[in-house]
Amino acid sequence: MLKQLQAICHILEDGEDLVQATITKHSGSTPRSVGSKMFIRRDGSCIGSIGGGLVEFEMQKLAAEIFETGKARIETVDLSGSDAAITDQMICGGRLEFLLEYFSSDAENSKEMRRLVTSLQEGGKGYLLKALDTKGSSVSQMERCLVRKNSVVLGQFSGPDSWLSQLTGESTKKKSPVIATLEGRRYFVEPTFLPGTVYLFGAGHVSRPVAELASMVDFRTIVLDDREDFANSDRFPRADQILVVPSYEDVFSGLEIGRDSYLVIVTRGHMHDKTVLEQSLRTSAGYVGMIGSKRKQHLVYDDLLKKGFSADDLKRVHNPIGLDIAAETPEEIAVSIVAELIAARAQLGH
């Protein structure tokens, strides 16, 4: 999502208009979930995906009309009808509701998108609120604003301030975009924070592909190592942050670790791994994984048990880290690790 929005910023700042299609509601079996979005250019080419096939073809046709009118609209695509039956690409059988918005390349839209990117990079929780005054399929008026800590930081919100916490609270409870109605007004509320931060302890040969893949599936990635020649942007061009630490002894100092934190311990030696793991078990991280063999696990675990950690504490640790796919190369191991991170994220509901 972050990389996609950065590309959108450059397109708008270069003077090119766009249409954004966002899934606002779905029922039955559908290829993508609420909040999935795609940007359509005037030549019909797309950035992002909302399911492929018939769905994207319909959005491309509607986008051509919106480029002419400059007006937003809400449309429904039925994947269970005869239109879906004529192509073997759409076998889902559900219904999708889309909000299509026109983004002209003016300074205000460029500023909004750039502020959204900054909000994601900062890692703080925010919400994009869209007030939808509709008449039929057309949206007669659209108000957009970015909310952080129950305060509007960009755009305007015409409702009472007390509504902000109510609207963002609905999205927080469900951990996904929602449509909410207050006193007859319809709002689309979309979380604007990345779904989880991966902390990579160790910048070696496994960490490189893990950082790459984690970034591709919308994790925020932070790499930590005590070696500057390993922990640098040349080796980790897609990492959101790279920290060269004095040692692993107090490596969590200054880090904000919570349920949406995923700790991946892949340092260059089992003593460093044990040092980081001991600190990890004192946090509320949603996921803790450590690379290594069963023999290494026994050595590390026995020492931690002697230091007062319980068997339940050690059950939190994914070790050996990653799904069992008979991985051997660093790249294959990275695939297994990131697959396990995706599964953990889905289970935690981030």
DSSP string for 115-175: HHHHHHHHT---EEEEEEEEETTEEEEEEEEEEETTEEEEE---S-THHHHHHHHHHHHHT
Q: Which of 123, 133, 32, 129 is nearest to 74 (CA)?
A: 133
Closest CA to 99 of 21, 162, 178, 164: 21
pLDDT, residue 279, reads 97
CA distance 265 to 290: 5
Mean pLDDT over each residue of the chain, to the nearest integer: 86
For residue 220, give the DSSP letter: E
0.75 surpassed by pTM: no
Look at residue 47 and give its three-state secondary structure.
Answer: strand
Residue 91: per-residue pLDDT: 45
Whole-angstrom distance, CA of residue 184 vs CA of residue 196: 34
Lowest-pLDDT choice from 151-160, 242-251, 252-261, 268-277:
151-160
Contacts of 292 (CB under 8 A, 6+ apart): 270, 273, 300, 319, 320, 321
Write down the pLDDT at residue 80. Answer: 66
> Does pLDDT of 84 surpass 50?
no
Count other Cβ atoms within 10 Å, centred on residue 154. 19
DSSP, collapsed to helix, strand or coil, labels residue 339 as helix
Q: What is the pLDDT of residue 93?
A: 59
From the CB of residue 295, how many other CB atoms can be counted at a distance below 10 Å? 9
Between β-strands 317-318 and 287-290, what pairing exists: parallel, antiparallel or unpaired?
Answer: parallel
Radius of gyration of the chain (CA): 23
Q: How far is CA 13 from the centre of its chain?
A: 24
Distances 268 to 24, 38, 212, 271, 341 between C-alpha atoms, Å: 45, 41, 19, 9, 21
Mean pLDDT, rounded, for 305-326: 95
pLDDT band of 81, cuts 50, 70, 90: low
Q: Rounded to whole angstroms, how far apart are CA atoms 72 and 327?
A: 48
pLDDT for the residue 161: 86
User: For position 136, what pLDDT does the model report?
Assistant: 57
Amino acid 350: pLDDT:
56
- Please tell me which of 11-25, 198-212, 296-310 the model is most confident about, judged by mean pLDDT: 198-212
The kind and range of the H/E element at 183 are: none
Cβ proximity of 299 and 288 under 8 Å: no
- Give the mean model confidence (pLDDT) for residues 316-327: 95
Domain spans of the chain, in order of start: 17-104, 124-193, 197-348
**Amino acid 271: pLDDT:** 92
Half-sphere exposure of 216 (CA within 13 A, CB side): 11
- Decide if pLDDT at 132 tops 90: no
With a cut of 70, say whether residue 344 has pLDDT above it. Answer: yes
Res 92: pLDDT: 52
The mean pLDDT of 298-318, rounded to a whole number, is 94
| pLDDT of 177 | 83
Q: Above 90 in pLDDT, residue 141? A: no
Rounded mean pLDDT of 267-291? 95
38 forms beta bridges with: 21, 48
Sheet holding 317-318, edge to edge: 241-244, 220-225, 197-201, 261-265, 287-290, 317-318
CA gap 345, 350 in Å, rounded: 6
Q: Are 222 and 201 in contact (CB under 8 A)?
A: no
31 band by pLDDT with thresholds 50, 70 and 90 = low
Q: What is the mean pLDDT of residues 312-330?
A: 95
Confidence of residue 89 (pLDDT cuts 50, 70, 90): very low
Q: Which two tokens stand for residue 220?
A: 């925020």
Residue 110 in this model has a pLDDT that exceeds 70: yes
**Sorting pLDDT into bands at 50, 70 and 90, what band is 96?**
confident
> Is the pLDDT confidence value at 310 over 50?
yes
* 11 or 126: which leads in pLDDT: 11
Q: How confident is the model at residue 270, as a pLDDT?
A: 87
Residue 104 to residue 119: CA distance in whole angstroms: 21
Contact between 254 and 279 (Cβ < 8 Å): no
Strands 37-40 and 46-48: antiparallel
Say which CATH architecture domain 197-348 belongs to: 3-Layer(aba) Sandwich (3.40)
- Tell me the average pLDDT across 166-183: 79
Pairwise CA distance, residues 220 & 264, whole Å: 13
